[in-house]
Amino acid sequence: MIQTQTRKADHLRICLDEDVQFHAQTNGLEKYRFTHCCLPELNRSEIEITTKFLGKSLGAPLLISSMTGGTQQAKTINFRLAEVAQKYKLAMGVGSQRIVVENQTLSDTFAVRKLAPDILLFANLGAVQLNYNYGVDECLRVVELLAADALILHLNPLQECIQPQGDTNFRGLLDKIKFICSKLPVPVIVKEVGNGISAEMAQNLIEAGVGAIDVAGAGGTSWAKVESERALNPNQRRLGLTFAEWGLPTAECITSIREVAPDFPLIASGGLRNGLDVAKAIALGADISGLAWPFLQAASESVEAVEALVQLLIAEITTVMFCTGNASLSRLKQSQALQKLG
């Protein structure tokens, strides 16, 4: 448990203080451009950015992506995020709750439901833990502790390869995910942690019964870089740096999955930094978009900084819709306003 808690603290420190972003690899959204509409025939104040996801209403197509928990700093960050999520009706995911399974006294660091009684809220565990003595009971426990609307099972094979003492037995996980999906009373969301999900793997997961997919593509935080910062020896650090730019770009994940699953609930995340990125991801086919690093930076500062970020994201999304002549998110998705360059 102490090792897990130390790792959580390390991850926060490194993500906030070190340069662990992708550089050579991008999220792919820069390859697309909206066609400007000089006469939108809209009143900007009437543009509607509300939506529904997994049956719950959202004030904007935004997910505060899974980040942290298990330490006092993490508690402060989670509570600030939850307060703003409630005010603006945003979806929110917490970081891996494995540490709570190991020590339930730390559950208060994830206890955001009391601050956000109405939001779409996601519990979170590493899928690989299903090969390390976790099962339905542990999944139910984290869902119930959070009073969550869904459970994220995250996939992180590259991170586990780089991480000191990583859990690298991924054999048979698809069948175990299928079993969990059949037993839980809430939907299961499968997400990567920043290296992307291919169309082929998405098909396998959909057939296994997952309720939604978060592509979490390459182009944002590189967890290979994060783990290289925690390396115990030079070879381990070099391994992390070798794979620092590994993965499928977010835009590519969205478009390829939409070719095989046109209507399946889909979250876009991975290197999204502003409302323009959010709007591009939605125009490509995502239902909502998740951001982590920008929210982490803001939440490490204050509630006011988080609220200012949300207001800016909403203004940016609304501006895209106004300047492309789309009054709703559904119209934005159906329009041909987003064009691939070249």
Average pLDDT by consecutive 10-residue portion of the chain (342 residues)? Answer: 74 92 95 98 97 98 93 94 98 96 93 98 98 98 97 98 94 98 98 98 98 98 94 94 98 98 98 98 98 97 98 98 98 96 89
- The whole-number pLDDT of residue 2 equals 56
Runs of H (alpha helix) within 147-292: 157-162, 173-183, 199-208, 223-229, 234-242, 250-260, 275-284
Give the tens place of pLDDT for each residue, 166-211: 999 999 999 999 999 999 999 999 999 999 999 999 999 999 999 9
Count of CB atoms within 10 A of residue 60's CB? 22
Give the tens place of pLDDT for each residue, 231-276: 999 999 999 999 999 999 999 999 999 999 999 999 999 999 999 9
| pTM (global) more than 0.85 | yes
Question: From residue 299, how far is each of 5, 67, 121, 163, 260 by CA, in Å?
Answer: 20, 11, 17, 26, 37
Q: Are strands 288-291 and 338-340 parallel, antiparallel or unpaired?
A: unpaired
Q: Which domains does the chain have, with CATH numbers?
A: 2-340 (3.20.20.70)
Q: Mention every residue, 6+ apart, whose C-beta is less than 8 A from residue 257.
A: 197, 199, 202, 213, 215, 264, 266, 285
- The whole-number pLDDT of residue 70 equals 84
- The whole-number pLDDT of residue 164 equals 85
d(CA 309, CA 91) in angstroms, rounded, equals 15
> Cβ(329)–Cβ(61) under 8 Å?
yes
Q: Mention every residue, 6+ apart, whose C-beta is less than 8 A from residue 217.
A: 27, 28, 192, 194, 195, 196, 197, 247, 248, 249, 250, 251, 252, 253, 254, 268, 269, 270, 271
Count of CB atoms within 10 A of residue 138's CB? 18
- The whole-number pLDDT of residue 222 equals 95
Per-residue 3-state assignment (H helix, E strand, C coil) for 80-126: HHHHHHHHHCCEEECCCCHHHHHCHHHHHHHCCCCCCCCCCEEEEEE
- The whole-number pLDDT of residue 275 equals 98
Q: Which residues pair with 267 in a beta bridge?
A: 214, 288
Got the DSSP string for 220-233? Answer: SB-HHHHHHHT-SS
Q: Say if residue 286 is exposed, middle or buried (CB neighbours under 10 Å; 0-12, 13-18, 19+).
A: buried
- The whole-number pLDDT of residue 1 equals 56
